[in-house]
Amino acid sequence: MAIKYIKYIDKINLKGKRVLIRVDLNVPLDKNKNITDGNRIQSVLPTINYSIKQDAKIILMSHLGRPKGKPDTEFSLLPVAKYLCEVLQKKVILAPDCIGQEVEKLVSEMQPRDILLLENLRFHPEEEKNDREFGRKLANLADVYINDAFGTAHRAHASNVAVVEFFKEFGGGFLMKNEIEYFRKAMVEPARPLVAIMGGAKVSEKLDALENLIQKVDKIFIGGGMAYTFLKALGYDVGKSLVEGDLIETAKMIMAKAKERKVALLLPVDCVAADQLDSRASTKITSIQEIPPGWMGLDIGPATRVLFAESLAEAKTIVWNGPMGVFEMEPFSKGTFAMVEALAESSALTIVGGGDTDVAVHKLNAADKISYISTGGGAFIEILKGKPLPSISVLERTG
């Protein structure tokens, strides 16, 4: 994915202007509507605070959950508005909708430094359809458009694609800038050796990413459930471990390409096996060749943890997406946490992406030891695939 010139918020005059900022405030809530993880909100605060200092009239817009194109109080952004009030120490008004006369009236009454949060964009089916007219209605609210929602960059929706057509002044926020700059450092002009660590359940979800990474990296580690399709392709009997049978030939092809390009492809040499997918299951550490019939590998084993960690020693850039096992269950968490520790101790540029991987880093309180944690799961994978991201493409300028 090649990215051309993008103008960022600090190069745009915001003074006294109405600034429409697309942010990703799709945060997890508990049954009492309390935000359980505010990292996504925290990540856009630099852009919001900069806009306040520039005396802008700030109009924030986001989605939350999947309300299926109609208003649903279950998915109201009210908890987010309350959270923003607390962290900004400033009044944040929640609009009753994201378009319409009531919203337009609220905008017309705004003073510099005021903050208005539009209600859930996905209360309108036109949002996910990238409807041009819906984009125009959103654009009518403001003078300047800023996109700071990297988490939705892989989606072509009205609030991040259609809307841009109607603005003369548009650009990216500070979060978007960070995401793009770290992508450049990792995938365009990396310090080498460049190592990719890929985990998660299925090869099918990461296939395009693997094929693209083979063209770019010096080493690639494959863990998680997806490793067993590769091990099966090498002829190992992996018991009841997760295997995508229709991708065995594809796995062979990827390994052949890696060999041809002299890319070191590392697979687990041992695993934590269990008789069932359950935190109370019987477990044993076994070599890949000796997984008992009817058992399944659910985490990388201690020898693999050492192998992977030692193989990172000379790395100058490390990109990691996807856990090494079913880390939500304590018996199968050690592999993923070992990789967190290895990255935290590394002197390399370390970039982590994907919701599960992000969770593991925060569980070990290691976020400040990782160079960058991407806020976009799906968007991060699309970058690893080398594919253009729709909402970034529309921000690009020729000069």
- The residues assigned a catalytic role are 40, 202, 355, 378
Determine the Cα–Cα distance for residues 73 and 94; give it in Å rounded to an integer: 13
Encoding tokens for residue 30? 């508990």
Beta strand extents in 338-380 (DSSP E only): 349-353, 372-373
Determine the Cα–Cα distance for residues 74 and 72; give it in Å rounded to an integer: 5
Encoding tokens for residue 234? 């090498």
CB atoms within 10 A of CB 369: 15
**Which residue, 290, 288, 310, is CA-closest to 300?**
288
Q: Using CA atoms in the order 88, 89, 91, 97, what is the torsion angle rounded to 10 degrees?
A: 30
Determine the Cα–Cα distance for residues 102 and 95; give it in Å rounded to an integer: 8
Whether the Cβ atoms of residue 337 and residue 331 lie closer than 8 Å to each other: no
CA-based diameter of the chain, in Å?
71
Determine the Cα–Cα distance for residues 134 and 122; give it in Å rounded to an integer: 11
Whether the Cβ atoms of residue 174 and residue 200 lie closer than 8 Å to each other: no
Angle, CA of 250, 251 and 253, to the nearest 5° = 65
CB-based contacts of 348, cutoff 8 Å, min separation 6:
191, 195, 312, 315, 316, 317, 318
